Structure 1
Amino acid sequence: MSTHSQFHLLKERRYLPFFLTQFFGAFNDNVFKNALIIMIAFQVAEQHINLLTNLAFGLFILPFFLFSAFAGQVADKYPKDTLIRRIKMGEIAIMLLASVGFYLNHVGLLIFVLFLMGSQSSLFGPVKYGYLPEKLNRHELMGGNGLVESSTFISILLGTILGGVLIAMDSFVPISLAVVGFATLGYLSARQIPLTPAAEPTIKLDWGLWRATADNLKTVKRHRDIYLAIMGISWFWFFGSVFLAQMPNFTRLVLHGNEHVVTLLLTMFSVGIGVGSLLCEKLSNRRVEIGLVPLGALGLAIFGLDLSIAGMGMDLDIEGIVGLGEVLTFTGTYRINFDLLMIGVFGGLYIVPLYSMVQARSEKSWVSRMIAGNNIINALFMVVAALLGMVVLAGLDWSIPQLFLITIGLHIIVSLIIFKLMPDFIVRLVAWVVSTLVYRTRYSGLHNIPADGGVILACNHISFMDPVIISARSPRPVRYVMHDRIYHLPILHWIFRLARCIPIASEKENPEVLAEAYRQIYARLEAGEVVVVFPEGRLTDDGRVGEFKRGIEKVLQKYPVPVVPMALNNLWGSMFSRYRKKWYQRWPRKLWARIELIVGEPMVPEEVTAVELQRRVIALKNQAKADNPLLPDPPLKTDSRA
C-alpha cells in the first residue's frame, strides 16, 4: 500500500487531468447559474421572478431524471476518456450559445441553455464517478473522492461569487469570455486524460428513456448495500439543499445581512465540506471506511440542531439590511458560522465514504450505471427538499430556523432507518473507534485477503477485542462465528445480532445450534462472503495458541474455499483478555498499546488441516515478533510457545 497522501494523486496523469476537468466543469456551471439567477432577479418583473427562478431550477434538474440511466449505459459501453472529451466539447458549444443569450439579454434563451447544461451534467456524472475506481486502487478511493468532493464545493462557492461579479459589469463580454474560457480549459484538461478502456462494451443501449430509468432503478435496488448507500447520499443532498437554498433568505430575514454575509456563510459551509472530505483519507487509514458515516450523521444532527436553535434565538431589533462588519458584532453570529463550518466538516465525513462504498462494491462493468441510479434518486430528493421548503415557509408560514429543525428531525429518523437496515455502518464505527482510540494497531498482509468470492479467515483468539480489531481494517465486510453462550450474553446480544454473527455450539452442548451454524456458514460462503473463525473455539487462558478444532475441515469438505491464516499479537494481558480469572480484577491494561494483525497468504482448501492451519498461525505470530520487537506478547502469566 502506498504511503503517499491523497495530494500525491495531483502529481499523476491518471488523476490530475481528470481532477482539473471536473473542477472547471463545476466552477463554470455555477458561474453561469448564478449570473442567470441575478439576471432574473434584476431584469424580470417582480411578479415573474419566483416563477422563472423555480422554472430554472426545474429545467436544470429535469435532465437527471430523463438522461441519467441512458448516460450510465453509455459510460459503461464506451471509453471514458473519449466520452469526457466529447462532453467537454459539447460544453464549449453550450457556452457559445450562452454568450449569444448574454449578448441579446434574452432570459428565455439562457434558461434553455441551463437545461442544456443540466443535460451535459447528467451525462458527465456517471462518467466522472465511474472513472475513479478504474484508475485508483481501493486504498486510494477515499482520498481521490475526498479531493473531488472538496474541490466541487469550493468550485461552487468561487463560481457563484465570480458569476455575480461578472454579470454586474455593464457588458456581456466578461461573462461570455469567462464561461467559454473555462469550458475550453476543461476540454484542454480532458485531452490529457489517459486511455480508459470501456468497462462493458457489449452493452446494448436502451433508447427508451423511461424504460431505461425504471430498469436502472430496479438494478440498483437488487444490490441492497449499494442501494442503501445511495439512499444515504441522496439524503445528504436533500439535507444540503434545504440549508443552502435558504441561506440568502436566512441571511436577510434572520441576520439582516447583505450579500457579503451570504458569501461568508456559504464560504464557511464550503470550507467545512473541503476539510471534512480531505480528513476522510487520514481518518480511514486509506481504506473505504464506512464507519465514518454514522459519525458524520451524528455531527450533522448536532450542529444542524444548534444552528436551528441559534437562528430562533436571533431576535434583532433592526430595520433594513446591514453589512458584514455590523453583522459580526451581533451575539450569536460566530456561533452560526461555526455551526455551518462543522455541518460542512461532518457532511464531508458522511458523503465521501458513501461515494467510495458505491464505487468499491459495484462490479466494474456496472459502476457508471450505479452512479446513474444515484443521480436519479439524488434529483428526486432535491425536488422533494424544494417542495418541503415551499410547504413549510409558504404554506404553513413557519420560519427558516423551524424548517431547519424539521429537517434535523427527518435526518435523525432517516439515519436510524438506514443504520438499522445496514448495521455494518455502526459495527464499523465501533471497530474504527477501538482500533484508533483504544489501541495503536499495525496491519500487514491485508492484500492477501481475496477481493471477491467466499473465503474463510482463521485467527488465534486472545481477547474479546479480536473481532473488532479484524473488522477495523478488513477490506471486505465479515461475518463472525462465535460461541452460542457469548452470543446470548445480556446487553451484548443485540450488538452481536447487529453484526450478524453466527452462533455455534458443540455437538454435546446443542446439536441444533451446531447444525444451524454450519448451514449459515455454507450459505454465507456460497453467497461470496467472508467468514471469520477462531479455530481454538475459545479465548486463550495463558496467552498461547491453543489446539485448533477440526470443524474447519468439515466446512471445507462441504464448501471448499480459500482459507487465510491470521495472527494477533500483544493483546494478551489486556483487560479484555483472560489474564485474570475474575473480570473485576482486570483493571485497564495496555490501553494505547502497540498491537498487530498480520495476514498470511491464502491456503487452497486441499492443503488445509487443523494442524497445518495452527502451524501457519504460530509462524505468523513468531514472524510478527521478529519483524517488530516492539510487539512481543510478554510472559505476563506463563511463557508463550507462540
Structure 2
Amino acid sequence: MKIRQFFSLYLTNIFGVMNDQMLKTLVCFVAATWTDKFDKTTIVSAMAAAMVLPYIFLSPLAGKLPHFFRKKKIVNTAKLCELPIMLIAVLGFYFENIGIAMTAVLLMGLQSSLFSPAKYGLIKDIGGEEGISMGMGGMEAFAFLGMLVGTVAGSIMSDHDSLTLYAGMLFGIAALGLLFSYTIKADETKTAEETSANPFKFIRESSAIAKKYKGLSHVILLLSLFWWFCTSVQLILITHCEEYLSMTNTQTGYLLAIMAIGITVGCLLGGRLNHKRYMLGSVPRIGVLAGLLMVVVFILPFNQMGDHRMVYFGIFMTTIAITVGIFKIPLDAEIQKRVDSSELNIILAYFNLISFIFILAASATNILITYFLPTTYVFLFDGIILAAWSMYFMFYYKGSLCYRVRNFIRLHYDIKMTNKEALNVPAGENLLVLPMHRALLDPLILFSELYDYKLQPMVDARFWKNKFLGHVLNLFDAVQVPDLRRGGREGVEQVQKLDGIVKTQLENGSNILFYPSGHITMDGKENIGNRRMAYNASKILPEHTRVVATEIHGLWGSRWSNYGRTRTAPMVPMLVKSFKFIVLLRFLFVKKRAVNIRFTDITDSFREWSSLPRQAFNAKMEEFYNREEDPLVLTKI
C-alpha cells in the first residue's frame, strides 16, 4: 500500500480544514472588532456554536447519505458549495455585517458535517482493509496541519485589514480543495443503512447500545468533557489575551497554535506511555492536575508581570495543553478496547455527537460566565469542573478504580502471576474461576490484576447492606447470591435459588468467580468443609465453560490475614485501617512482600470429581489447594 494513493483525499481534507479554521479565526478577530468587548465574547462563542450545531443535528443524516449517493459525488458537491459560502463570508466582511459573517460560518459547518462521513468512508474504498491504518493516520495528520496553518494564517490576516487578502485566501483555498476532490480515485462499495437520521432517535438507539458496556457512558462523558475543556479555553483566549495581556491577534494565533502542538505532543506521549503501561488508572490524577493548573492561571496576575507576561502565560497554557493531551489517550483506548468491533462505529458516532453537544455547551457557559464576571473566571470554572469530574470517574468507573488499586497495592507487594494464559479462552467459551481465600486482600489483588477478563464475583447478599461495599460490588457486576447461613426449609430454598443463579450465569456465558470455601482461612489451609457451591456447579457445568483454580501464596501472616485471630475482622474497618497504614509506609523504605498467584486449568478434573459425593469432592478440592504449604511470613503489610 503506497501513501500517494491517498494524496488527493489528504489534500482535499487539508484545504477544507484550513478554510474552516481560517474563516472561524477571521470572524473571531475581525468581525468581533465591529462591537464592544462584551459582544466580542458573545460573538466568539456564538461562532463556535454555529460551526457545531450542524454536526449535532445532521450527523445521523450525513451517515445515511452514502447509502443513496456515491461518496466521491458527495465530496465533490460539498466542495463546490464551499465557493458560494466563501462569497457570503466576503460579503459579510465587506459590509461589516455580523449576521452575514455568522451565516457563512453556519453554512460552512453544515457543509463540513454533511460530507465528513463520506470523506472518511473513502479511506477504505481507496486503500482497502490493509490501508485503513495508513489512511486514518494521514487524514488526522493532514487535518492537524490544516488546523494549525488555518489558525496562524487567519490570525496574521486579521492584523492586515485587507478585504482583497481575505477574499483571495478564502476563494483560493476553496478552489484548490474542489480541484483535488475531482482527482480522488476510489473503488466504492455500497454503504448499509443502519441507524435513524433523527438525531434524538439516534442518541436513544446509540445510548441503549452503550449501556450494554457497563460504565462506558462515564468514559464517553469524560472524553466529551475534554473537548468541552479545549473549546472553552480556545474561545476565551481570543478575548482574554487582548483584554488582559494586550496581545495582538497574531500573537494570540501563535499561542493557540503552540497549544495545539502541545495537545498533540501530549497525545503522542500518552500513546507511548499507554502502550508500555495501561494509563487508565492515572487519568483522574492527570485530570486533577490539569484542573489545578487552570486554577493557578486564575490566581496568578499575569497582566502585572511586565514584558514577560506572555512568556509566563504561554508556558502555563502549553503545560496544560500537554497534560490534557496525555489525559485523552487512555480514554480513547478504553473505548476501542471495551466495545465489540461490530458495534464500534455506532459507539464512535454516538461519542462524536455527545462531544459536539459538549462543545456547544462550552460556548454557552463562556457567554454566561463573561456576562457576570471577568474572563479569568472561565479558567477557574473549567479547572474545577475538570478536576471534579476526574475524581468522580476514579470512584465510579471500574477500570479506573482497578488500575488505581493495582498501582497502590504494587507499592508494597511484589505480585507474580504464573500460567496466566489458562484464563485465555477462545470465542464462545467462558470462565469459572475458583480461588483459595488466604486474606482480605486477595479479592482486591485478583480483580485489579484481572480487570481485562471481565470477571463477575458471586457475593453473599448480606454484603450489599453496606453502602460502600454495595457500590464497589455493583461496579464489578457482582452477582448477588442468597445468604446460606439460614437453616430449615428456608435454607433449602436458598440453596435451590443459588443453584439456579449459578446455572443461569454459566449458561449465559458470563465469566464468574467465587470462593469454594466461602471464608478466609483461619489456619493457613483451605478448608471447604461441607460447602456445596463448587460441588453443585460441577453438576451443571456447561460444555463451553473452562474451570480455573487459583492458588495464592504469600499473604498468610500479613495484616490482611486471620493469623492470630479467632475470627475474621469486619471488612470495611479493616480495609480503612490497613490502607491508612500502607499510605504511611509510602514514606518509608520497606521491602515488598512477595505474593505468588498460579492459575491452573482443572476443567477435566472438576468434571471427573463431580461424580463423587459432596464431601469427597470437597476433599479433592482441598487436596489441590493445600498441595503446597503457604509459608508463614509475619510482616506489617
TM-score, normalised via structure 2 length:
0.68
CA distance 1:126–1:165, change in 2 (3 Å): same
**Residues 567 and 618 in structure 1, CA contact (< 8 A), matched pair in contact too:** no
Aligned to 1:316: 304
Aligned to 2:56: 65
Alignment of 1:138-537 (within 5 A): 156-165=147-156, 171=165, 172-173=167-168, 176-178=171-173, 181=176, 201=192, 203=194, 206=196, 209=197, 212-222=198-208, 223-224=210-211, 225-259=215-249, 261-263=251-253, 265-267=255-257, 269-285=259-275, 290-310=280-300, 313-314=301-302, 316=304, 326-328=308-310, 334=312, 336-394=313-371, 396=372, 398-412=373-387, 414-415=389-390, 422-434=397-409, 439=414, 444-445=420-421, 448-449=424-425, 455-461=431-437, 464-482=441-459, 495-496=472-473, 499=476, 501-502=478-479, 507-508=484-485, 511=491, 529-535=510-516, 537=518
Aligned to 2:80: 93
**Residues 151 and 274 in structure 1, CA contact (< 8 A), matched pair in contact too:** no
- Report the CA distance between 1:305 and its aligned residue: 2.2
- Report the CA distance between 1:460 and its aligned residue: 4.9
- Report the CA distance between 1:448 and its aligned residue: 1.7
**Residues 31 and 161 in structure 1, CA contact (< 8 A), matched pair in contact too:** no
Aligned to 2:571: none
Alpha-carbon separation, structure 2, partners of 1:283 and 1:577: 32
- Report the CA distance between 1:64 and its aligned residue: 1.3
Deviations 1:150-187 (A, max 9, x none): 98667634431244446758645555555555677799
Deviations 1:496-519 (A, max 9, x none): 565454566884578598777667
SS of 1:563 mapped into structure 2: strand
Larger C-alpha radius of gyration, 1 or 2?
2
Deviations 1:94-143 (A, max 9, x none): 55556766888877887666445423543566679999999999xx99x9
**Residues 446 and 474 in structure 1, CA contact (< 8 A), matched pair in contact too:** no
- Report the CA distance between 1:253 and its aligned residue: 2.5
**Residues 145 and 356 in structure 1, CA contact (< 8 A), matched pair in contact too:** no
Alpha-carbon separation, structure 1, partners of 2:253 and 2:605: 60
The amino acid that maps onto 1:375 is N
**Residues 458 and 532 in structure 1, CA contact (< 8 A), matched pair in contact too:** yes
Alpha-carbon separation, structure 2, partners of 1:407 and 1:97: 38
**Residues 267 and 326 in structure 2, CA contact (< 8 A), matched pair in contact too:** yes
SS of 2:452 mapped into structure 1: coil
Alpha-carbon separation, structure 2, partners of 1:32 and 1:559: 60
- Report the CA distance between 1:149 and its aligned residue: 8.0
SS of 1:565 mapped into structure 2: strand
Deviations 1:593-630 (A, max 9, x none): 696676869889978959999999999999xxxxxxxx
Aligned to 1:37: 25
The answer to which of 365-374 and 384-393 deviates more is: 365-374
CA distance 1:596–1:637, change in 2 (3 Å): closer
Instruction: Indicate which of 533, 545, 551 corresponds to 1:551.
Output: 533
Aligned to 2:34: 46
- Report the CA distance between 1:408 and its aligned residue: 3.4
The answer to which of 217-226 and 153-162 deviates more is: 153-162
**Residues 441 and 594 in structure 1, CA contact (< 8 A), matched pair in contact too:** yes
TM-score, normalised via structure 1 length:
0.68
- Report the CA distance between 1:217 and its aligned residue: 1.4
Alpha-carbon separation, structure 2, partners of 1:354 and 1:513: 42
Aligned to 1:627: none
Q: How many pairs align?
A: 585
The amino acid that maps onto 2:227 is W
- The answer to whether the aligner puts 1:563 opposite 2:546 as a matched pair is yes
Alpha-carbon separation, structure 1, partners of 2:81 and 2:557: 65
Deviations 1:248-302 (A, max 9, x none): 2222233333345434543554344224323444444479864344334323332
Unaligned runs of 5+ in 2: 566-573
SS of 1:246 mapped into structure 2: helix
**Residues 284 and 391 in structure 2, CA contact (< 8 A), matched pair in contact too:** no
The answer to which of 128-137 and 534-543 deviates more is: 128-137
CA distance 1:43–1:551, change in 2 (3 Å): closer
- Report the CA distance between 1:438 and its aligned residue: 5.4
- The answer to whether the aligner puts 1:591 opposite 2:577 as a matched pair is no
Alpha-carbon separation, structure 1, partners of 2:438 and 2:302: 56
Alpha-carbon separation, structure 2, partners of 1:183 and 1:568: 65
Alpha-carbon separation, structure 1, partners of 2:262 and 2:629: 45
**Residues 93 and 101 in structure 2, CA contact (< 8 A), matched pair in contact too:** yes
Alpha-carbon separation, structure 2, partners of 1:613 and 1:154: 66
CA distance 1:25–1:433, change in 2 (3 Å): farther
Deviations 1:166-211 (A, max 9, x none): 67586455555555556777998x868x99996xx363x65xx5xx
Deviations 1:466-511 (A, max 9, x none): 5434434533543223578988899877645654545668845785
CA distance 1:602–1:86, change in 2 (3 Å): farther
SS of 1:291 mapped into structure 2: helix
Deviations 1:340-398 (A, max 9, x none): 3443344234433434444444454443333333333322222222122112212x1x1
Alpha-carbon separation, structure 2, partners of 1:420 and 1:597: 29
Alpha-carbon separation, structure 2, partners of 1:369 and 1:376: 11
Alpha-carbon separation, structure 2, partners of 1:246 and 1:156: 18
Alpha-carbon separation, structure 2, partners of 1:385 and 1:88: 30
Alpha-carbon separation, structure 2, partners of 1:517 and 1:253: 68
The amino acid that maps onto 2:244 is V
Q: Cα RMSD (Å) of the superposition?
A: 5.8
CA distance 1:298–1:243, change in 2 (3 Å): same
**Residues 37 and 53 in structure 1, CA contact (< 8 A), matched pair in contact too:** no
